[in-house]
Amino acid sequence: MAERSIEEILLIEDDYERRIELLILRLPQKMRPPVHWLRKPDAKWLRLPAGALLMCGGLLAILPVFGLWMLPLGFILLSQDVPYLRKQTNRMLAWVERRKPHWLGLS
């Protein structure tokens, strides 16, 4: 998949997709292709279990390997396929875009 520039991402009309693409752009270069692959519709078989496992790992943040960073990543992966989570994730990302735009690389 060709890398999108921030200018191309800002032209995406769907707010949810634009915000997710901005987050992906913040990832290290080596992590972007696997995340783009996971977001494809045919990767649903892996996305659902990975999202659930990440959320469970986020709840085990007191253990050394796990952390709270896993919880939002699990929500974002599951929100691709669960409409209720997609709505809530979009609301959260809208708040981030308004209050903390530097988290999305907008400042």
The reported pTM is 0.81
Radius of gyration of the chain (CA): 14
- Return the number of other C-beta atoms located less than 10 Å from residue 1's C-beta: 9
- Weakly modelled stretches of the chain, pLDDT under 50: none
Amino acid 1: pLDDT: 55
Please report how many Cα atoms fall inside a 13 Å half-sphere around the Cα of residue 100, on the Cβ side. 7
